Amino acid sequence: MKTFLIPMDFSDVSYTAAQYAVDMAAHLDATKVIFYHSYAHRPSDGYDEHTGYQQSTIKHLEKIPIKLHLPTARSMERFVFLADDKSVAAGVAAIVEQHAVSMIVMGIAGLSDIENTLIGRNTMAVAESGAAPLLIVPRNHVFRPVNKVVYATDLKNVAYVTPSASIIRLASQLHAETHVVHVDAATQGQTPDKILGKQEILNMLESLHPIFEVISEHMDKAEGIFDYVKKHQIDLILMASRNYGFFQRLFHSSVSKKLLNIADVPVVLLKNKPVA
């Protein structure tokens, strides 16, 4: 995991995400951290149509590391500052392709933030695009070394949906114990299809020696996952960013909104291709 991208809107939420990203980048010895700002909605304030506002924005971006607590080993030479007038999602997609971004890091405050604020809408737009793995950092969350990760699965279309290469690459780079959970109070994962799905996912992630658990105590899937996270001291929640109907299936679902609202650990949305 060599290149981190941090879209910034200069809010407290985005600074929290930036601090987390810088700390994680240092922990993983990343070679590049990119700070990016979209000024697609810039005000008409007399600036030159493009160049003047871009230069002003870059100057603001260059001040960000000064406001962060930087690991002593991190060199300013590793920081890149970019700004343009594209939408956040389009700008992020272009940077991901140009710089081979390993991880996008953005902030979110909770359920109301998803629907009602600019940073929430921008985070969801980037999530929908699926340009690269997206790490969503809760408000005021501080980085700590990731010892345990959990991947939540509904055991449906496992071979197609599971981003196994990304899970293996990320968990291996973090040297993290990998848990796989399925919330099912009704059948406890014992239908023929789910038994087959369990075997498929365990085979796909075999190199990680994953710990598989069925959560049967909760009817509410989000609460079941979050309860497991607390009990097992999980540091990172992994979810698949499905290519088909992703936005509708994931972020318009009550389960995912609840999970992002109550989780006090970061959530990573993974693509069906390896993390660089």
- Each residue's pLDDT tens digit in the chain (276 positions)? 789 999 998 888 889 999 999 999 988 888 899 999 998 876 655 555 556 778 888 999 999 988 998 876 555 458 999 999 999 889 999 999 999 999 999 987 654 454 445 556 777 778 777 778 899 888 778 899 899 999 988 888 898 889 999 999 999 999 999 999 998 877 877 889 999 999 999 999 999 999 999 998 877 777 788 889 989 999 999 988 764 344 344 445 566 666 666 567 888 888 765 555
- Give the span between the Cα atoms of 90 and 96, in whole angstroms: 10
CA separation, residue 236 to residues 142, 145, 149, 173, 269 (Å): 12, 10, 5, 13, 11
Give the three-class secondary structure for 236. strand
Superfamily of domain 3-138: HUPs (3.40.50.620)
* CATH class as words, domain 148-270: alpha beta
Q: Could you state, in order of their start, the residue ranges of all structural domains in the chain?
A: 3-138, 148-270
- Give the span between the Cα atoms of 273 and 271, in whole angstroms: 5
Residue 15 in contact with residue 63, Cβ under 8 Å?
no
DSSP state of 175: T
* Nearest-5° Cα angle at 257, 256 to 258: 90
Give this prediction's pTM: 0.84
The reply to whether domains 3-138 and 148-270 share a CATH topology is: yes
